[in-house]
Every structure is written in structure tokens, then in C-alpha cells.
Amino acid sequence: MDKKRILILDTTLRDGEQAPGFSMNMSEKLEIAEMLEALGVDVIEAGFPASSEEDMAAVTEIAKRVSSGVAALARAREDDILRAAEALQFAKKPRLHVFIATSKIHMVHKLHMDENEILAAVSRSVSFARSLCPEVEFSCEDATRSDLAYLKKVVSAAVEAGASIINLPDTVGYATPTETYGIYKSVMGDTDPGGKILFSTHCHNDLGMAVANSVAAVAAGARQVECTLCGIGERAGNASLEEVVMALRTRNDFYKAETGIQTKLLYPACRKLSSVVGISTPPNKPIIGVNAFAHEAGIHQHGILSNRQTYEIISPEDVGIPKNDMVLGKHSGRHAFEQRLSELGIRMDREELDEAFEMFKLVAERKKAVTDKDLHAIAGEKRRAIGKGFRLIRFIVNSGNTIPAMASVKLERDGEETEDSCMGSGPIDAAFKTVDRIVRHTKGYGNLSYSLEDYSINSVTEGEDALGEVLIKLRCDGEVYTGRGLSTDILEASLKAYINGVNKLLTI
């Protein structure tokens, strides 16, 4: 049997970004979009243009920049569809993605519409979308909790109106893999016996079955999976792109399906997302977690030494985790540095490379060896700057168990340097309070109010001289902004992260 080609629609920039704490600014969205294109994603769902001016601008700019397909989401309303079509006007491969709920609970309690009204809205909106865009996808929101007979009526109406892609989302992660398989088999068999329509799956992870449900839909005949990097998304998240792709690849004997994803870029892509949104990857995360290829039990170690396939069904090299962790040091030159970044799938422009190399040399002066994990962290660090903002010049912190903590910090902004000091309940608290004083004494920010919501420290590598990565979250006016800092000095990393977060909330 020939392998069927499965399209990957990535919705990291739409569904993924809607989750609290995952908001991105324009430059960050463009960075992720370019990474997704390099990864081989078939369609990038870039946003929901009618929801905000920011989404409108992001979809428009991404449509201009990438050659991949670009989708824009719209409710089954004429104004939404017009907005989405306008945002897609520069896309090389535009797709209008129209949706409306089809489950009884949504129709009664959210839409206040009956079945006939929904059917009319589907026909009207899809037909209008098709008049504006050559490719229209239609989604039956909450499909897996919809009456099956009615679901088929809606799908038939959408196809008749011009939709060439039909999505049956498990919007609240309610379905089981067996149910999912049955729904797709039944709907596809009764509404598209000729196999002309591309059926898609979009699963949420509320019960931990998003990936299982996605591949069950593929087994039933779906030819597109909608997913996100690292599975980010509303509530418990979406189906994880890297898990779906590697499940189909590893169990190709069962699914007889393949994607166009460059799997060696999966780990770099997930690392980039982590650095952009400031969220750490859990160590036990399938495919890309630090423990995914770690073996501690003696019997496992013995098996691995004899034959890696005894306890590894995926090679770490297949997902971009290098087998040999090349070590660079302070005597390593620029050529070796650039070559290793290229081998790791890290792409940078000339200016970014210049800055990253400078940071590499600084790190190499403090560490005996700079590993691949350090290089990934350095690459992420050099992409953290958000426009013009505050920059750390120097700091001094005094602290002990018999004296109060005191911090002195000097920041630079627009060529002007400001230094201040403050006491705190500990060295980190004192340093952050000093930054707050400087920011609020800056013209225009006197009434700025924000608070620290989360603070975490991670070691990039092992050893006493390991790079420390600090992730912080600041809350301002109901929005959450993430900051990231990197250094062998944890106080310096903390200040960099805090300043990064402040710069974001001042610019977004």
C-alpha cells in the first residue's frame, strides 16, 4: 500500500498563542513563522484577524513573508470573513478557515441558534468565503459532542457551498481514540464517498488524548492534522506537532502515512518556542524532553549498550538532538561556532550571529566547555531583545543571613544611564525592586503598575559552571509578559530576565 501524505497545519500562532502566558509580539511571531516554514509545515494558521488589530497585523505580515500556506480563522460571519480575506491578500497560498459550533450545548447556550439557523449560516458563510478565497476550510466546532446525523448534514452543506477541507475538532478534548476513529469513518463514508474532500483533525488535550485522537483520525482516513509546537494551547493544550509527526514516522508500518516535516529540526524548533514564550520544557516531555533519551536503570543501560533499539524506538539524532555533543571552548574560532550552529539547525542573520558569537566568547571565558545545549540557549538569548528598552550595564548585590539584602543596579536606555539602589527581603527581591525604581523614575512610566507572577531557574547543562536560565512572568493590566535571561551568574540571569520582561510590557 502506498503511503498517504498527511498535511500538517500548525496553529501555534493562533490557538497556541491564545493560552495565558504565551502571547508573542510581532517580531516573535515572525520568528516562529519562519521556523515553521523551515520545519516543513504545510499550513501556518497565523491568527484570528477579527479578534484584534494585533492579530490582523500579524496575519498580514506573515502572509507577506512565508511561502507556506497561510490560514486565517473567521467565525461564520461576513465581517469576520472580510477581515480574514483582507489579511490574506498577500499570501502565496491563502486559506480562509471558517467555523461554527454544531453541538447542542453550544447551539443552545452560546449561539442561541437552532439547527436550521446553523445550517443556513454554514451555507451562507462558506459560499461567501469561497467567493473571496480559492481554498476554504470549514470547522464544526465541538464536532465530537455533536449529534452524528446532524454533523453529517452540516458537513454536506459546507461541501456544497464550496469548502474543500472539513475539520471535525475535538474542541474540549472529550473524545476517545475509538470514538474519533468511528466518527471520521462514518462522516467520511456518508458525505464524501469519492474521497475528494480533505478531512482534518484538531484535538485538545484535556484528558491527555490529543495525540492519540489525532492519529486515530489519520488511521480512519483524515489527511490533515492541526497541532502546535510542544502542544501549547488553551487549557491543557493541543495535539503536539512533534509527537504526532514522530508517531506517524515511527509507526509507519501501522499508519502507512508520512508528513513533509524535517524531523531533524523538531528539537531546534521547540527550543526556539521555549525561548520566545519563556516556558520551560518538562523533562519527561515525549520526543524533546531531557529525559526522553536518558536511561538510569541498570537493566536499561545494559540493553542500550548492547543495542539502542532495546529501549529506544526513536534515535535522538532523528529529532535534531545530536548524538555527539561537540564541545567548544574559549580557543574555538568563529568558523567552528557558525558551523556548529548550522549543524544544530539554528539560523541567524549576520547581525544576530555577531552578537551570539560575542556572547559565546563571554560564556567560554567563564566555562571550561560550551556544549550544544549552551549553544541553543545562547541562540535563544540573542533573540530576546524587544525593540528599544532598558539594558543592564552593571550590578552589585550584598546579602547575607546577618545583613539585609541591598542591590545597586545601573541601566541604560536610549543612551542615558541611570543607577539606583534598594533593599529587599533577599538578593533577587532587592535587585528587582531596584529595576522597578529606575523604570518608574523614567519619564512616562511613573504610574506604570506591574507585578511578578512567576520566577523559575533552570540549569542549561550540568556542573558548577553551568549556564543558568531564568524565566519570569510579569502581570500588567490583566496581561502576562514573559522574560528570559541567561548567564553563569544566576543574579545576572535573573536581572536580564526581569529587564527582558519589563521591556516586553513597555513595547507590546
Range in 110-114, 186-190, 299-303, 406-410 with the lowest mean pLDDT: 299-303
Q: What pLDDT, in 10s, does the model give residues 62-81?
A: 999 999 999 999 999 999 99
Band the pLDDT of 343: cuts 50, 70, 90: confident
**Domain 391-507 is of which CATH architecture?**
2-Layer Sandwich (3.30)
Q: What's the pLDDT score for residue 302?
A: 42
Right CATH for 4-277 from 2.60.120.380, 3.40.190.10, 3.20.20.70, 3.40.50.720: 3.20.20.70
pLDDT exceeds cutoff 50 at 298: no
Nearest to 75 by CA among 118, 115, 21, 134: 118
Q: What percent of the chain has pLDDT over 90?
A: 63
10 Å CB burial of residue 132 (0-12, 13-18, 19+) is: middle
The average pLDDT across 403-429 equals 95
pLDDT top residue among 15 and 281 = 15
The average pLDDT across 385-409 equals 87
| All residues at 6 or more sequence positions from 147 whose CB lies less than 8 Å from its CB, including other chains | 103, 104
Q: What pLDDT, in 10s, does the model give residues 80-138?
A: 999 999 999 999 999 999 999 999 999 999 999 999 999 999 999 999 999 999 999 99
| All residues at 6 or more sequence positions from 125 whose CB lies less than 8 Å from its CB, including other chains | 74, 76, 77, 78, 81, 98, 100
The average pLDDT across 237-253 equals 97
Q: What's the pLDDT score for residue 296?
A: 41
> Would you list the domain boundaries of the chain?
4-277, 291-321, 322-383, 391-507
Would you say 303 and 409 are in contact if contact means Cβ atoms under 8 Å apart? Answer: no
**What is the H or E stretch that residue 72 is in?**
strand 69-75
Q: What's the pLDDT score for residue 462?
A: 65
Q: What's the pLDDT score for residue 347?
A: 75
Specify the pTM. 0.83
The packing angle between helices 241-250 and 210-220, to 10°, is 50
What phi and psi, each to the nearest 5 degrees, are found at residue 469?
-115, 120
Range in 244-248, 419-423, 472-476 with the lowest mean pLDDT: 472-476
